[in-house]
Amino acid sequence: MDECARHDRTVRLLEARLDALAVASERAPRGESRFEREIAAAVAATRHAVLLEIISAREADSIWAAVARRHPSASWCRAGPRLAA
């Protein structure tokens, strides 16, 4: 797999995972607290993709912001991947 294909695949997978988590947390009775581990895993996956230079930090922030706009009830998504942490 070349770098461009890896980049595109990573972007699609990350965005799909965040969308799925957002939908699930919006529908769940306990919302965000029920999916804390999955959200932490998505943050970790985002950090790893940035550290491996598969995507840029700016792209990661953009992906998280786009998902947050589509799912305004998923407040955890508005915080972004917290890459500076």
**Domain contains 30:** yes
In a domain, 83, yes or no: no
pLDDT at 83 over 70: no
At 33, the pLDDT band (50, 70, 90 cuts) reads: confident
Torsion-angle region of residue 42: left (phi > 0), alpha (psi -120 to 50) or beta?
alpha
For residues 21, 22, 25 and 26, what is the CA-based torsion angle, rounded to 10 degrees? -150
How many domains are there within the chain? 1
- The phi, psi pair for 43, rounded to 5°, reads -65, -45
User: Which structural domain range is residue 53 located in?
Assistant: 3-78
Over residues 45-61, the mean pLDDT reads 95
Whether residue 67 is contained in a domain is answered as yes
pTM flag (> 0.85): yes
pLDDT at 84: 53
On whether residue 22 sits in a domain, the answer given is: yes
Tokens of 26: 């919006």
The more confident residue out of 33 and 20 is 20
Is residue 64 domain-resident? yes
In this structure, is residue 85 part of a structural domain? no
pLDDT of res. 29: 77
